[in-house]
């Protein structure tokens, strides 16, 4: 009268897989509540852009952002509208924001490189290690989902190990492999989240801003940065920001002269 354990296990597995799929769908849906008004604004913006009314198109895209919707494609079009108005700093800001949301979009990469040609400041940068590129090519959310799915698979293998004593050797091997990859992905996700929280970047928006030695209007000027240059935020003190360039130069400037990506 005993229910065969393997049959029971199959049912459990099925249940778990369904749960996992539901979770994935929830994830998709969670991202996908589309605001019809935002779509309408986007359509209007594109129409204005097609008529070469770039300033109005830019304002229309900005309204989508003001509605609290952060969307890579909206930021991309916004960047185009700013670029056509010769507002390099704003264009770079928009493209940088787009590249954080849709990091593998070729158009964003192309436009960002085209606009970067127009920046006046030349800053010596280190060539990024290959892993950095890989990390930059995925969003934090994608990292999170990858880590979760890997974790789920590892758990499934563990369950199999518990319930199927006959194939324990095989399951042990793939389970260890999967577990290592899972831990790696968790580590990378953590690293990405840490970077995002602790190494915020900003774009200079003023045509020319003087970087000073201390958060004080009368402090010694150290160097000048121009519109569009990307800097790293180190510290925030009242209305002053401590920034660092990629080549290591550090200084203070007023908050309104730049905007955090």
Partner 1 sequence: MNKHPIISILILLIGIPGLTYSQDFSITADVDRTRISVNDLIVMTVTVSGQDLNNVPEPALPDLNNFLILGRTSSTTSSFNFMNGKISSSQTIRYIYQLQPNAVGEFVIDAITASYEGKRYRTKPITIEVVQGTAQTPSQGGRGSVQQPLPGVDNQTNLREELFVRAVIDKKKAYVGEQVTITYKLYTRVGLANVRYDRMPSYTGFWMEEMYSAQHLDYQEEIIDGKRYSVSTLKRIALFPTVTGEQQIAPLSMLCDVQIARRRSLFDRFFDDPLDPIYSRTRQTRIESETQTIDVLPLPEAGKPDTFKNAVGQFKITASIDQAVAEVSQPLTLTVILSGKGNIKTLEAPVLPTMANFKQYASESKENINANNLRIGGFKTYSYVLIPVISGVNQIEPPAFPYFDPATKSYKIASTNPITITVASEKWDPTTGFMPQKTAVIQIRQDIQYIKPETVFLGHQGGFLFQTPWYLILHALPIAAIFGTILYRSHTNRLQHDVGYARWRRAHGQARREFQVAKKALNQDRFEQAYMHISNALYQFIADKNNQATAGLTSPQIVDLLSDWKIEEDMINQVKHCLDACDMARFSPTLLTKENTKEVLETAEKIIHTLEQKMVKE
Interface ranges with partner 1 (CB under 8 A): 1-2, 5, 8, 12, 16, 19, 23, 26-27, 30-35, 38-39, 42-43, 46, 49, 68-74, 76-77, 80-81, 83, 101-102, 106-107, 110-111, 114-115, 117, 139-141, 144-145, 148, 151-152, 155, 158-159, 162-163, 189, 193
Task: Give the residue from 215, 214, 221, 225 showing the smallest Cα distance to 247.
Answer: 225
Nearest distance from C-beta of residue 230 to partner 1, angstroms: 18
Q: Cα(122)–Cα(196) distance, rounded to whole angstroms?
A: 24
Q: Is there a contact between 233 and 252 (Cβ–Cβ < 8 Å)?
A: no
Tell the smallest beta-carbon distance from residue 16 to partner 1 (Å).
Answer: 6
Quote the tokens at residue 185: 């992905």
Contact status, residue 240 vs residue 118, Cβ threshold 8 Å: no
42 vs 240 by CB, closer to partner 1 = 42
Closer residue to partner 1 (CB): 230 or 242? 230
Tokens of 166: 């006959």
Structure tokens at 161: 């190990």
Would you say 35 or 206 has its CB closer to partner 1?
35
CB of 111 to partner 1, least distance (A): 4
State in angstroms the smallest separation of the CB of 259 from partner 1: 16
Distance, in Å, from the CA atom of 9 to the CA atom of 247, rounded to the nearest integer, reads 58
Specify the residue, 45 or 215, whose C-beta has the smaller distance to partner 1. 45
Three-class DSSP labels, 116-174? HCCCCCCCCCCCCCHHHHHHHCCCHHHHHHHHHHHHHHHHHHHHHHHHCHHHHHHHHHH
> What span, in angstroms and rounded, lies between the C-alpha atoms of 185 and 116?
32
Question: 69 or 250, CB closer to partner 1?
Answer: 69
Q: What are phi and psi for residue 51, nearest 5 degrees?
A: -90, 15
The nearest distance, CB 98 to partner 1, in angstroms, is 9
Nearer to partner 1 by Cβ, of 77 and 229: the residue is 77
CB of 166 to partner 1, least distance (A): 14
């Amino acid at each position: 009268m005993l229910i065969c354990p393997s049959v029971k296990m199959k049912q459990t597995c099925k249940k778990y897989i369904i749960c996992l799929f539901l979770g994935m769908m929830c994830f998709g849906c969670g991202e996908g509540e589309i605001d019809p008004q935002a779509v309408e604004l986007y359509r209007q913006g594109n129409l204005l852009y097609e008529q070469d009314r770039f300033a109005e198109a830019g304002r229309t895209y900005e309204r989508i952002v003001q509605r609290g919707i952060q969307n890579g494609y909206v930021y991309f079009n916004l960047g185009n509208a700013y670029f056509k108005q010769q507002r390099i700093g704003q264009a770079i800001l928009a493209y940088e924001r787009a590249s954080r949301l849709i990091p593998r979009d070729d158009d964003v990469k192309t436009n960002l490189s085209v606009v970067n040609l127009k920046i006046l400041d030349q800053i010596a940068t280190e060539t990024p290690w290959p892993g950095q590129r890989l990390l930059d090519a995925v969003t934090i959310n994608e990292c999170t989902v990858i880590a979760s799915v890997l974790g789920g698979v590892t758990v499934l293998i563990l369950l199999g190990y518990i319930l199927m004593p006959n194939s324990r050797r095989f399951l042990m091997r793939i389970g260890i492999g999967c577990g290592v990859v899972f831990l790696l992905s968790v580590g990378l996700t953590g690293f990405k989240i840490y970077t995002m929280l602790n190494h915020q970047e900003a774009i200079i928006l003023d045509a020319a801003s003087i970087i000073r030695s201390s958060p004080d209007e009368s402090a010694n000027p150290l160097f000048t940065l121009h519109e569009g240059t990307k800097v790293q935020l180190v510290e925030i003190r009242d209305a002053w920001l401590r920034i660092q360039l990629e080549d290591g130069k550090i200084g203070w400037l007023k908050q309104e002269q730049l905007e955090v990506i």
